[in-house]
Amino acid sequence: MSSFQEITELKRKNILSFYPSIDKEKRLDLKDVLLNSTLKKKYSHKINGRWENQYLDLDLIPEIKSIFSMACKIGKSIIKKPLVIPHKQLGFSFNEFWFNISNPGDNTGWHDHKKNAEISGVYYISIPKKSGNLIFRKNNGNNFEKWFVKPKDGMMILFSSKLEHCVEINKSSDPRISLAFNLYTLPIQINETKNVYSSKKFFL
């Protein structure tokens, strides 16, 4: 656990923040790959006129394997069970990770990843100043309790898949780039209703 930094206030909310051991050069290489307009990408759905989720084959971005490994290790320490992020190189028929590229003026509305996933996560590849906080909320009966995370380059956040969250408007002049994923215990059973936030309902 020495490779990550916990934020006490977030830990109390069942949210962990830490920094995987990925050097800056590899993170910038990943950014360049994602901004390469010639690459063949898959998209899931549009929100407010933009593609919300973008998918790439893992062969093009091998750097993120170490991110997945660290996330599964930390997740296992939380729930005391082995976890996996499904992807095709593990023999699954789908990749349960995606990228979000939010251009200036973009935001992501309230949603959760409610299904059979135990934990969800986000790794921040490029976060310009004023590109928006990650906000969580929990219904306490009569009102919502809200708290926020100020993302930074190279930071990873792990949280319960049932927690509702959104991302503020990108008020910077550059794209905000992040990697999101879901972690599961085995055997995996994914609810494929239209309200489920998962890649499997798009790519079978």
- Binned at pLDDT 50, 70 and 90, residue 94 comes out as confident
In a domain, 202, yes or no: no
In a domain, 13, yes or no: yes
Residue 189 CB: number of other CB atoms within 10 A? 9
Give the Cα separation of 150 and 131 in Å (integer): 10
DSSP state for residue 147 in the 8-state scheme: E
- Structural domain containing residue 137: 8-183
State residue 7's pLDDT score: 37
pLDDT over 80 (residue 77): yes
In a domain, 203, yes or no: no
Sign of torsion, CA 170 11 64 153? positive
In a domain, 15, yes or no: yes
Q: 70-84, 108-122, 130-144, 189-203: lowest mean pLDDT where?
A: 189-203
In a domain, 197, yes or no: no
Q: 3-12, 168-177, 183-192: lowest mean pLDDT where?
A: 3-12
Sign of torsion, CA 126 12 119 89? positive
State residue 204's pLDDT score: 30
> For the chain, what is the domain count?
1
Q: Report the CATH number at residue 16.
A: 2.60.120.620
30-54 pLDDT, tens digit each:
898 888 867 666 666 555 555 567 7
pLDDT cut 90: percent of the chain above it: 26
In a domain, 153, yes or no: yes
- Binned at pLDDT 50, 70 and 90, residue 20 comes out as confident
Q: What is the mean pLDDT of residues 157-179?
A: 92
Residue 45 in tokens: 């759905």
Q: Which residues pair with 137 in a beta bridge?
A: 146, 164
pLDDT cut 70: percent of the chain above it: 76
The residues, ordered by sequence, that sit 6+ positions from 56 with a Cβ below 8 Å of its Cβ are 33, 34, 39, 41, 42, 99
State residue 8's pLDDT score: 39
Residue 48 CB: number of other CB atoms within 10 A? 10
In a domain, 1, yes or no: no
Give the Cα separation of 147 and 164 in Å (integer): 11
The residues, ordered by sequence, that sit 6+ positions from 179 with a Cβ below 8 Å of its Cβ are 64, 67, 97, 98, 99, 122, 123, 125
The overall average pLDDT reported for the chain is 79
Least Cα distance to 63 among 20, 95, 96, 11 occurs for 20
In a domain, 200, yes or no: no
